[in-house]
């Protein structure tokens, strides 16, 4: 039986490009990057980041105060962007709170709260500050626990945490839950926020660039870390038209913890599965939003996988706009694909000057206006976790 497309009936995005879809779309069309010289942590690390302004002054509703941390503040801003919470409230009336599932992706959850607690304690073996609430901030489930209460949902709720594929894989899990009848609709999304662990951890792996990141460039030298939140409401189409999830593919590299398979075997398997699942042939794909992190080995492996499956499909990485938003990259780029389809444009690869001649994929350097019916989004993470999603116009 073929996969029944799931319509994206509401969605929101917040990233370094600003709050809401309109700001994201304007930046993508005007080729305006959200990256800035690092000013998090007093800019101690020389790099560029994709930072969301205003998180420091966000106040959560009183009843959810124990959840207060950078990650859940970012989630709250995302839920209020594009009227998302209000749209979910309408769906809740229609389906019932218990029939809407909630599947969120995050890589580091609210780890910044734990980092600050360790930095604040008086001595190395002393207790962490009493005010530090690990369970509601940093625990991996925190963002789903918070969002479920915020949206007053009562269906299945969980966090998927598979590093940088997290908020792509939520689409797959939500689809299975709807297909199995565990819920009638689903809120999917992802949130990851700036913290010392990812900045210094990726830096220790020598994967952070001191310059604005430039995917697919001959001189690419690593990632810029960004923060973002995004949400989408998935429903059966029921005769309505719009952008829909057409299929998904998930695979494992079974190769290395932090380096992709050099020929992109796992990535290829995920993309092939996604196309089969969507009943779409490679030549029907109009645009591919690359994982494209701008590390030498990631781009090279993704390029190898693409070359084995596609011929001349326009591709780009949007990491030059937002930075690599890690566990929020899947949802952020899924929404960029939805904008491409809805508005008819292909975003370019910002900051990419000289395309690496060793890479075969036709990467767009500039944004072009062009109709898009089918778009694919790639997300690959540490531990060799791969996910590819296919979106298209459904009428």
Partner 1 sequence: MRVSVDSVGLMAPGMAGWDAARSVLRGEQTLDRQQLPTFRPNLLPPNERRRTTALIKLALQTAEDALQHNRYSMSELASVFASSEGDGEVVDRICQSLTLPERPVSPTHFHNSVHNAPAGYWAIASHSRQFSTSLAAGAYTFTAGLIEAATAATLQQQPVLLLCYDSALPPALAGRGYVDTSFATALLLSGQANAAALGSLRLELKAGSTRLPALSKELEQLREHNPAAASLPLLVALAKEEGTDLSLPYHDELAVQIGIDV
Q: Give catalytic residues, as residue numbers.
A: 164, 291, 324
Verify binding: residue 173, partner 1, rule CB under 8 A.
Answer: yes
> Site for partner 1 (CB under 8 A): which residue of 27, 28, 100, 160?
160
Please report how close the Cβ of residue 264 comes to partner 1 at its closest, in angstroms.
Answer: 12
Query: Measured from the CB atom, is 139 or 297 closer to partner 1?
Result: 139
The alpha-helical segments, DSSP class H, found in 295-370 are 296-307, 319-322, 329-343
Q: Out of 61, 118, 218, 283, which residue is the one contacting partner 1 (CB under 8 A)?
A: 118
The residue whose two tokens read 């209460």 is 149
- Binder among 23, 64, 154, 237 for partner 1 (CB under 8 A): 154
Task: Name the 3-class secondary structure at 24.
Answer: helix
Strands 6-15 and 242-252: antiparallel
Report CA-CA distances (Å) from 7 to 11, 119, 170, 324, 376.
11, 45, 15, 26, 15
Shortest distance, CB of residue 347 to partner 1, whole angstroms?
A: 28
- Other beta carbons less than 10 A from residue 377's beta carbon: 30
Backbone angles phi, psi at 117, to 5 degrees: -65, -40
122 makes contact with partner 1 (CB under 8 A):
no
Please report, as residue ranges, which positions from 230 to 289 form the binding site for partner 1 (by CB under 8 A): 250-258, 265-266, 269
> Is 228 within 8 Å of 27 (Cβ atoms)?
no
CB of 121 to partner 1, least distance (A): 8
Cβ closest to partner 1, residue 279 vs residue 353: 279
CB of 212 to partner 1, least distance (A): 23
For CA atoms 60, 65, 69, 72, give the dihedral sign: negative
Whole-angstrom Cα distance, residue 342 to residue 254?
Answer: 36
By the criterion CB under 8 A, which residues form the site for partner 1? 97-98, 107, 111, 114-115, 117-119, 124, 127-128, 132-135, 138-141, 144-145, 148, 154-163, 169, 172-173, 176-177, 179-180, 182, 196-197, 200-205, 250-258, 265-266, 269, 381-385
């Amino acid at each position: 039986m073929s996969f029944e497309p799931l319509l994206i009936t509401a969605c929101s995005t917040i990233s370094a490009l600003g709050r809401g879809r309109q700001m994201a779309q304007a930046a993508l069309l005007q080729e305006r990057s959200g990256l800035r010289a690092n000013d998090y942590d007093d800019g101690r690390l020389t790099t560029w980041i994709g930072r969301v302004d205003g998180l420091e002054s966000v106040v959560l509703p009183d009843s959810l105060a124990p959840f207060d941390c950078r990650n859940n503040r970012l989630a709250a801003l995302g839920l209020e962007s594009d009227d998302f919470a209000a749209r979910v409230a309408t769906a809740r009336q229609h389906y019932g709170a218990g029939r809407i599932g909630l599947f969120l992706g995050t890589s580091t959850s609210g780890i910044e709260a734990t980092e600050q607690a360790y930095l604040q304690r008086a001595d190395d073996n002393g207790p962490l500050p009493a005010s530090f609430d690990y369970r509601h901030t940093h625990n991996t489930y925190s963002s789903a626990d918070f969002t479920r209460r915020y949206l007053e949902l009562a269906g299945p709720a969980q966090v998927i945490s598979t590093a940088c594929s997290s908020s792509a894989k939520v689409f797959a899990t939500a689809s299975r839950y709807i297909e199995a009848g565990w819920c009638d609709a689903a809120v999917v999304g992802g949130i990851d926020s700036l913290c010392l662990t990812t900045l210094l951890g990726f830096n220790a792996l020598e994967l952070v660039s001191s310059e604005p990141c430039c995917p697919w460039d001959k001189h690419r030298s690593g990632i810029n870390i960004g923060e973002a939140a995004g949400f989408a409401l998935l429903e059966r189409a029921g005769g309505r038209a719009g952008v829909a999830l057409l299929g998904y593919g998930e695979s494992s590299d079974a190769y290395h913890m932090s380096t992709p398979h050099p020929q992109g075997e796992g990535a290829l398997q995920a993309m092939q599965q996604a196309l089969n699942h969507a009943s779409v042939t490679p030549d029907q794909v109009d645009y591919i939003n690359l994982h494209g992190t701008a590390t030498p080995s990631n781009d090279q492996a993704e390029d190898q996988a693409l070359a084995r499956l596609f011929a001349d499909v326009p591709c780009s990485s949007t990491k030059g706009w937002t930075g690599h938003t890690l566990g929020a990259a899947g949802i952020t780029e899924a929404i960029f694909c939805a904008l491409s389809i809805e508005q008819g444009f292909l975003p370019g690869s910002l900051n990419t000057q000289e395309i690496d001649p060793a890479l075969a994929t036709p990467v767009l350097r500039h944004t072009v206006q062009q109709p898009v019916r089918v778009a694919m989004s790639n997300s690959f993470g540490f531990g060799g976790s791969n996910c590819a999603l296919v979106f298209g116009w459904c009428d």
